Amino acid sequence: MAPLAVDLSDDQRFALMKLRRNVADSKKPEHDDHYLLRWLRARNFDVDAAEKMLRESWQWREQWEVESLQTWEPPEVIQKYYPSGLSGFDKEGSPVVVVPFAGLDMWGMMHSVRKSDFIRNTIKMLETYLRIAGEQVKQHGQQASKVVLVVDMENFNLRQYAWRPAGELVVVILQMYEANYPEILKAAYIINVSKVFFIAFNIVKNFLKEYTLSKIQIYKNNPAKWKPVLLNQIPADQLPAYYGGTMTDPDGDPKCPSKVKPGGKVPKSMYYKKPENTVNSEKFTTVVVKKGDKLKIPFLVAEENTLLKWEFRSENHDIKFGILCTDMDGKETEAVPLQRVTSQQMDEIGMITCQGPATYTVIFDNSYSIMRNKTVHYSVGLFSPEEAKVEDTDLQEG
């Protein structure tokens, strides 16, 4: 085997040799040392942890039949309305993927395709870009093995992700990415962000590893700042003119929709079901809040006068409960002061009117207990301003 063209310490080389030996029973010819190093770096060269992560990922690939996704055709709505595309390659040969994020209609998508198909499409895209990167490596070397991402957040709509099913799906995809695609991101440029973006990002970053976060650069809506940065890494002829390059479609469109699909609002004619009242259909979730620990549940509130409603009970013992509000500037206030409640005796029920855009974090706090874990059954949800009016009227009449 040819020597690795990377700098490794003696301990790291020993870890690589050990992992190579440990997984020899299952690894495929394409699982070379560069591949194994991705998993070792993701686990700080802890061989046992890297092997566990790798084997779990191989099992995950079997469950999702990843190898056969190359021939799988996504549903029509995804093909037409999922925004993204390969614009070209950076100066070292790495694939450059552009995502006009505001073109993603999550509400329409989730009422037109199954959640599993949305995830399957994400996997297929990741596999496609990695396969392209693999081809680039043959010509440009290992510096082309990772992906460059440009995410345009212009006109970002926070309200879509305040809808809990959409937010939960984003979290599932992030967790899937971190567990199964370590060390594939070369750089991520998130451009044209507004203040409301940071409300969502403050939640999202909790599900990203430090390595991933270190690759992300965020720029406000100031092309004079981010265009030179993009062009420093990406040749002008590999980037749409709208983002500072020289590429245009044959008709002169600077966004190059023939390469980078813009997405758009999914027509209701493509919906497979009527919108559901997701709050009223929620069931109680049961959790164990360990002694000395807290459970924090964040909610994105996009609109003024959104109603946050809760109901919970604890088993045998009381627990502290409160709600923290974080506004666009990062200022925190107590929407509901944290205090002990005797929810083991009677269900605790309440609601507050929220001011948005902001993040409201529901907290079950068991940090004061050094002896007992606490079992809590809870249902917490958001109502739109229109639903809030109905809910508030029902509460007053009750």
Tell me the CATH number at 390. Answer: 2.60.120.680
Verify that 25 and 90 share a domain, yes or no: no
* Residue at a domain's end among 270, 305, 335: 270
Verify that 54 and 71 share a domain, yes or no: no
Q: Is residue 280 part of a domain?
A: no
Verify that 238 and 336 share a domain, yes or no: no
Q: Is residue 37 part of a domain?
A: yes
pLDDT for 4: 59
Verify that 166 and 298 share a domain, yes or no: no
Tell me the CATH number at 120. Answer: 3.40.525.10
- E strand spans, 155-293: 185-193, 216-220, 285-289
| pTM for this model (two decimals) | 0.79
> Beta strand pairing status for 147-152 and 95-100?
parallel
Verify that 72 and 212 share a domain, yes or no: yes
Q: What is the DSSP letter of 74?
A: P
Verify that 149 and 204 share a domain, yes or no: yes
Verify that 225 and 307 share a domain, yes or no: no
Q: Is residue 275 part of a domain?
A: no
Mean of per-residue pLDDT scores for the chain: 89
Q: Do residues 282 and 381 make contact, with C-beta atoms less than 8 angstroms apart?
A: yes
Tell me the CATH number at 16. Answer: 1.10.8.20
Verify that 88 and 53 share a domain, yes or no: no
What is the side-by-side strand order in the sheet with 294-301?
294-301, 358-365, 319-326, 332-341
Verify that 71 and 197 share a domain, yes or no: yes
The count of domains in the chain is: 3
The tens digit of pLDDT for each residue in 163-197 reads 777 888 898 899 999 999 999 999 999 999 998 99
Q: Do residues 316 and 359 make contact, with C-beta atoms less than 8 angstroms apart?
A: no
What average pLDDT score do residues 146-161 get? Answer: 92
Q: Is residue 4 part of a domain?
A: no
Q: Is residue 289 part of a domain?
A: yes
Q: Binning pLDDT at 50, 70 and 90, where does residue 259 land?
A: very high
Residue 6 one-letter amino acid: V
* Residue at a domain's end among 48, 63, 78: 63
What is the side-by-side strand order in the sheet with 348-354?
285-289, 374-383, 306-314, 348-354
pLDDT for 387: 62
Residue 332 one-letter amino acid: E
Q: Is residue 1 part of a domain?
A: no
Verify that 59 and 70 share a domain, yes or no: no
Q: Is residue 164 part of a domain?
A: yes
H/E segment holding residue 347: none
Residue with tokens 């002008």: 236
Verify that 17 and 40 share a domain, yes or no: yes
Look at residues 304, 324, 98, 288 and name the one whose alpha carbon lies nearest to residue 203.
324
Q: What is the DSSP string of 284-331?
A: PEEEEE-TT-EEEEEEEE-STTEEEEEEEEESSS-EEEEEEEE-TT--
Look at residues 300, 293, 307 and name the one whose alpha carbon lies nearest to residue 325.
300
Q: Angle at Cα 128 formed by Cα 227 and Cα 155, nearest 5°?
A: 40
- Distance (Å, whole) CA 365 – CA 341: 11
Q: Collapse the DSSP code of 110 into the 3-class scheme (helix H, G, I; strand E, B; otherwise coil) and give the result.
A: helix
Q: Binning pLDDT at 50, 70 and 90, where does residue 28 land?
A: confident
H/E segment holding residue 64: none
> Which residues make Cβ contacts (< 8 Å) with residue 36, sequence separation at least 6?
16, 19, 20, 23, 27, 50, 54
Q: Is residue 345 part of a domain?
A: yes
Domain that holds residue 33: 10-63
pLDDT for 5: 52
Strand partners, 20: none
The tens digit of pLDDT for each residue in 268-287 reads 999 975 444 333 444 789 99
Residue 382, pLDDT above cutoff 50? yes
* Residue at a domain's end among 211, 238, 270: 270
Q: Angle at Cα 152 formed by Cα 210 and Cα 303, nearest 5°?
A: 90
Verify that 70 and 218 share a domain, yes or no: yes
- Distance (Å, whole) CA 193 – CA 222: 9
